[in-house]
Amino acid sequence: MFTNELNQSATLPHVQDCQTKHKLHKALRSLVREYQELNGTEVKKYDHTPTPLQMYRECISPGRPAVITGAIDHWYARKGWTNEYLRNRIGDQMITVASTPNGLADALTLDPVSGKEYFAMPYEKKMPFNDFLDIMLGEESEYPHYASLQNSSLTTEYKSLVEDVDPDIPWFTEALGREPDAINFWFGDSRSKTCLHKDPYENCYAVVRGTKTFVLLPPIEYYCVHESSFPCATYVLDANGKLKLEPLSGTMKTPCSPVDPSNPDLERFPRFRYAKPITVTVREGEMLYLPAFWMHQVTQDGEEGVIAVNYWYDLDYQSILYPTVSHLRRLVASVLDDQEDLGESDGED
């Protein structure tokens, strides 16, 4: 009798925990479904530059993406960034180039030596722009090369091109009431791609050459992407000049989603079946508005490489978006998945 009571008291918290998680799963699935029913999977399309009021009402306020045609037609870069022009303007200036064996940078990667999964950062090197351009135009290289330096790379490494684009997106700047924090220059080919990730920025992403295909998920579908924390590693060159993964020392881990939204493993990641990914192809001369915290995977294609310029506008942290996304993350990570490191909330007990 006494033993049975002990067993029951030990089992009760576990049962209650399972019941709580079951209820939370149902509530979060309901939340995702309701958002999907209200918003659908359509992306707003503009065949002209929207007014600031249009942009705010139709996209920024509801947090929905849009593709804008004609927004960069007046840029010199739109037609003027030929290979000859880029060679003349940048030439043998040293630029930062990222490389990985599989074309994925800052992505979950299985180390073939240890069999462990790491959040893998790319090998970065400096090389003359002309040599990089040769690779974009078809010169053989063992590994993919991607000019993907951030932190406003257009105004630093590529400042000779700054005058060829606008210093901001005027109608977007007026809609938000603030200037962009950073302007980035991207140049890669079809071998380079990004894994599913999110950024705390309002993003205006203009494709100057080639096409970019984005697979998008709204922040409300965070429940579906199975984010977890992984140990970090970086690619380095070995003695034979081959790229290999080198784990970083210490206990630092980086959160990321292991799901490939273009080809999800639903057996391993069953919650992704409730997501409704939105695929958008942004063609040469078009601009994508990508709201803050929207998750996205990006691939690209172009005969002579793909060039893009994007403007990052800082998130309004006083809006309800940031605390809502943070709370959703804590619910999923801490309560459902028992990942306390992901669910930590700035010193709260």
CATH of the domain at 272: 2.60.120.10
Of 80, 45, 81, the C-alpha closest to 65 is 45
Of 70, 62, 26, the C-alpha closest to 42 is 62
DSSP symbol at 333: I
Return the C-alpha torsion angle 224, 229, 232, 235, nearest 10.
Answer: -10
Which tokens sit at 326?
A: 């943070």
Can you tell me the mean pLDDT for 266-294? 98
Residue 36 C-alpha from the chain's centroid = 21
- Average pLDDT over all residues of the chain: 93
Q: Is residue 12 part of a domain?
A: no
**Going by DSSP bridges, is the β-strand pair 295-301/211-217 parallel, antiparallel, or unpaired?**
antiparallel
Q: Quote the percentage of the chain above a pLDDT of 90.
A: 86
Amino acid at 322: Y
pLDDT band at 252 (very low <50, low <70, confident <90, very high): confident
Backbone phi and psi for residue 81, each to the nearest 5 degrees, phi listed first:
-85, 65
- Give the tens place of pLDDT for each residue, 142-176: 999 999 999 999 999 999 999 999 999 999 999 99
Domain around 231: 18-343
Of 207, 209, 250, 212, the C-alpha closest to 232 is 250
Whether pLDDT at 349 is above 90: no
Whether pLDDT at 122 is above 70: yes
pLDDT band at 338 (very low <50, low <70, confident <90, very high): confident
Report the number of distinct structural domains present in the chain: 1
What is the rounded CA–CA span in Å between residue 292 and residue 20? 31
What are the helix (H) ranges across the chain?
2-39, 52-55, 77-80, 83-89, 129-136, 170-176, 321-330, 340-343
What is the rounded CA–CA span in Å between residue 141 and residue 138? 9
pLDDT value of residue 340: 75
pLDDT value of residue 343: 59
Q: Is residue 284 part of a domain?
A: yes
Q: Is residue 349 part of a domain?
A: no
Amino acid at 166: D
Question: What proportions of the chain, in percent to the nearest 5, are helix, strand and coil?
Answer: 30, 30, 35
Q: What residues contact 230, with CB distance under 8 A and at least 6 apart? A: 108, 117, 118, 119, 253, 254, 255, 256, 258
Task: Answer for the pair 203, 296: CB distance below 8 angstroms, yes or no.
Answer: no
Q: Is residue 143 part of a domain?
A: yes
Element (H, E) at 41: none
Amino acid at 298: V
Q: Is residue 11 part of a domain?
A: no
Burial classification of residue 322, based on how many CB atoms lie within 10 Å of its CB (0-12 exposed, 13-18 middle, 19 or more buried)? middle
Q: What is the pTM of this model?
A: 0.92
- Count CA atoms within 13 Å of residue 73 on its CB side: 7
Of 65, 16, 28, 2, the C-alpha closest to 286 is 65
Q: Is residue 13 part of a domain?
A: no
Q: Is residue 323 part of a domain?
A: yes
